[in-house]
Amino acid sequence: MGRVPTKTEEIWADLLEGNRRFQAGKPAARELVSRRAALSQGQNPQVIVLACADSRVCPSLLFDKDLGDLFVVRTAGNVADPVALGSLEFAAEYLHSRVLVILGHEQCGAVGAAAAGEKPPTPNLESIVARIRPAFESVKGSPGTGRRLRLAERANVHLSADDILRNSPLLRAKVAAGNLTLIKALYRLRTGQVIRLPNEPRES
């Protein structure tokens, strides 16, 4: 096992290196049995990932990471609801994770549901769509067009990040103090590539 990166940009570069291996179909060799045994004594993940629950989006695989490397929270549409926020806070406060990645993805069904404008059949589904709908409404274009949906997927990552900072004083304070770095990213289903999004939304 090589040197563990400690600086934010080193950590992100390490994640991208793993993603390149995933894209190429050449994952790193792992000693899962010994790693599992070592982790039975505790965990110390440097990276938290808030990702969509979509079955095609598995952070540990797409970043080619081992057991114990990522603290992953997954909700439909990478929505930062109170339970998700509490989970993120746990990793930041008690596991001292250094980086929080908000990971959206292309062809997100939850974003598509928000774009459809139809009333979900249950209050629980409506609670998800209601949180995503502002992202769709914030981007320009004709309803239902592919371009507007792609922009909405990116906007939803920014919305999730904003929700986290607005609704979690603990995480907001850690980001302000430089103890936690928030990175916004998007996963491309067809190529397997993860790209970093700019800090501020833009139409591209």
Average pLDDT of the segment spanning 83-102:
97
Number of separate domains in the chain:
1
The answer to whether position 29 is within a domain reads yes
The answer to whether position 173 is within a domain reads yes
The answer to whether position 32 is within a domain reads yes
* Residue 160 domain boundaries: 8-196
Place of tokens 């459809």: 116
- Burial of 11 by CB count in 10 Å (0-12 exposed, 13-18 middle, 19+ buried)? buried
The pTM for the full model equals 0.91
Q: How high is the pLDDT of residue 2?
A: 54
> Angle at CA 169, nearest 5°, toward 153 and 179?
85
Q: How high is the pLDDT of residue 140?
A: 72
The answer to whether position 60 is within a domain reads yes
* pLDDT beyond 70 at 1: no
Average pLDDT of the segment spanning 152-172:
97
User: Is the model more confident about 7 or about 67?
Assistant: 67
Q: How high is the pLDDT of residue 3?
A: 60
Q: How high is the pLDDT of residue 35?
A: 93
**What tens digit of pLDDT does each residue of 179-197 get?**
999 999 999 999 999 999 9
Q: How high is the pLDDT of residue 201?
A: 64
Q: How high is the pLDDT of residue 202?
A: 56
Q: Can you give the CATH number for the domain in which 112 is found?
A: 3.40.1050.10
Q: How high is the pLDDT of residue 204?
A: 44
What is the band of 7 on the pLDDT scale with cuts at 50, 70, 90?
A: confident
Sign of the Cα pseudo-torsion (197, 200, 203, 204, in order): negative
**What tens digit of pLDDT does each residue of 100-155 get?**
999 999 999 999 998 888 899 999 999 999 999 999 888 877 555 788 889 999 99
The answer to whether position 201 is within a domain reads no
The answer to whether position 31 is within a domain reads yes
Q: What is the mean pLDDT of the chain?
A: 92
The answer to whether position 203 is within a domain reads no
The answer to whether position 2 is within a domain reads no
CB 23 within 8 A of CB 193: yes
CB 68 within 8 A of CB 17: no
Average pLDDT of the segment spanning 63-68:
97
